[in-house]
Structure 1
Amino acid sequence: MAKIAPMFECTNIKGKVAAMTITTFTSREFQQNANRAQKAAQAGPVFITNRGETGHVLLSYEHYQRITGKRRNIVEALSMPGLADIDLEVSRSHELPRPADLS
């Protein structure tokens, strides 16, 4: 029988708090009840275990998009929105550069 953990609050990468239920299926239960696992994934992640060790996590596509931030490429993934409005003052160093030690 699948184990269902109580709901808990989590904060995603955008700072939004949401309630989520974690469900655990053994690999055998998952094979026999894939439809039930898909329904459980609508409420939160479904952990699929094999011999007691978590091997896979089933997420709804909507949840996957939320946690990945719907990023399309590495530039967007590494960009930090909202930083354009920050003033950054960097003082210029007047020290002479040292030669590189290539030994």
Structure 2
Amino acid sequence: MPTTISSREFAHDTSDAKRAALFGPVFITEQGRPAHVLLSIEEYRRLAGGNASIIDLPDMQGA
């Protein structure tokens, strides 16, 4: 089940957002519009086809 929180709420309580991400995507909004999505690593890997690894992360910084 997706959760939606504002960027202010995310900054105030990151731990709560990380817990919510264990149960589904967390949409982080800025000025009422979706701006980011927080996923568990398991969900990210599933969406990436299981091919994603921690080694890929530095390459993603510029994306």
> What's the TM-score once normalised by structure 2's chain length?
0.79
Q: Which residue, out of 22, 30, 41, partners 1:61?
A: 41
Confirm whether residue 49 of structure 1 aligns to residue 6 of structure 2. Answer: no
Name structure 1 gaps, 5 residues minimum.
Answer: 1-20, 73-103
Confirm whether residue 24 of structure 1 aligns to residue 1 of structure 2. Answer: no
Count residues with an aligned counterpart.
52
Aligned AA for 1:60?
A: S
Residues in 2 aligned to 1:71 and 1:24: alpha-carbon distance in whole angstroms: 28
Residues in 2 aligned to 1:57 and 1:50: alpha-carbon distance in whole angstroms: 12
Which one has more relative contact order, counting CA pairs under 8 Å at least 6 apart? Answer: 2
Residues in 2 aligned to 1:43 and 1:71: alpha-carbon distance in whole angstroms: 22
> What's the TM-score once normalised by structure 1's chain length?
0.49
4+ aligned runs moved over 6 Å, structure 1: none
Identity %: 48
